[in-house]
Chain A
């Protein structure tokens, strides 16, 4: 099945909106003492929040593969944003950076583990999102067609007979 333009637009929008929490959580994981509000390097909190962030990817995307791609996209974009925020003192304020290789190595060493949490949490969240969307659609369909015997609430006798 071909990926439509609609899917791509949804993926881009979701990736843009989902990237900011990822960027903040990564930055916060690096500097929990100066960021606000801080999760204090609590991996469980990071994982639960990444599940929450993954929900829209599953809710919005029609297809599972697109939802997974969306998760990977927003995690990649968010992590890149975090690197940008990490560089702000040296790019925006032009302060002296000593040993730039070690500076970025430290960042990757401290935060690389989070990528797995974000992707895993995002996929779990996307599955939840799909479950929510499907159950809402079912509910909508049932409300739209009340005359359909399948959608009619069961009478007491019918329930008892079952």
Chain B
């Protein structure tokens, strides 16, 4: 097809004639292209939402209490909220909670670990989308070795002018949670950035929070 004066009209007409002639082929091609455009846009939006979740999911209000029971056992409880305003459920992979009392000051301080708890992936715990999940932990400190160490710490502090009681020690609660966005593969051995992309890591320390 050559071009002459008014060639644009000729081209347009020739192209429309070509499209009419091969309409099945052209339609299939356009549908294929639009399908992939939709898939790409949808995937990019999902990617954005997944990245956004990293900022959206936060730890909420925390409470902790310590009391000495009648039999001398130290009872410790801790609760923390995981706020998930995103549209994805979070599968809890691991949760760990530690309660410590630090003896001394940095860098020569010694941690007395009083209690700990762990939730693994096998428990199948989930934080549903657009909800707040509350995790609650309790522990009883009954070990006489630990209790005597705490009493020793109290007596030693008293000699330095700081008065503590067993229920009002400078307890430090540490909480770590690793979760994955439900429905997304995250067991890649080589492409670990894919695991990181859908992983949620949350950390709390009452020492950092000043609680």
- A95 and B197 form a contact (CB under 8 A): no
Whether A6 contacts B30 by the Cβ 8 Å rule is no
Known A17-B30, A33-B197: A88·B45 in contact at CB below 8 Å:
yes
Give the A-B contact count at a CB cut-off of 8 A. 102
Mask: chain A, 83-103; 1 = CB below 8 Å from B; 0 = not: 001101100110100000000
Cross-chain contact B44 with A27 (CB below 8 angstroms): yes
Q: Is the CB of A85 within 8 A of B40?
A: yes
Q: Which residues of A contact B141 (CB under 8 A)?
A: none
Find the A residue at minimum CB distance from B30: A17
Task: Say yes or no: A59-B36 contact (C-beta < 8 A), given A34-B184, A92-B48.
Answer: no
Query: Is B163's beta carbon under 8 Å from chain A?
Result: no
The size of the chain A interface, using a CB distance under 8 A, is: 36
Residue ID in chain B nearest A17 by CB atoms:
B33
Residues of A contacting B51 in the complex (Cβ-Cβ under 8 angstroms): 89, 93, 95
Within 8 A of B (CB), among A28-48: 28, 31-37
Q: Which residue of B lies closest to A88 (CB)?
A: B44
Chain B 40-59 interface mask (CB, 8 Å, partner A; 1/0): 11111111101110010000
Interface set of B (CB-CB < 8 Å, partner A): 1-3, 7-8, 11, 14-15, 25, 29-30, 32-34, 36-37, 39-48, 50-52, 55, 184-186, 188, 191, 193-194, 197-198
A residues with a Cβ closer than 8 A to B are 4-6, 9-10, 16-18, 20-21, 23-25, 27-28, 31-37, 53, 56, 59, 81-82, 85-86, 88-89, 92-93, 95, 106, 110
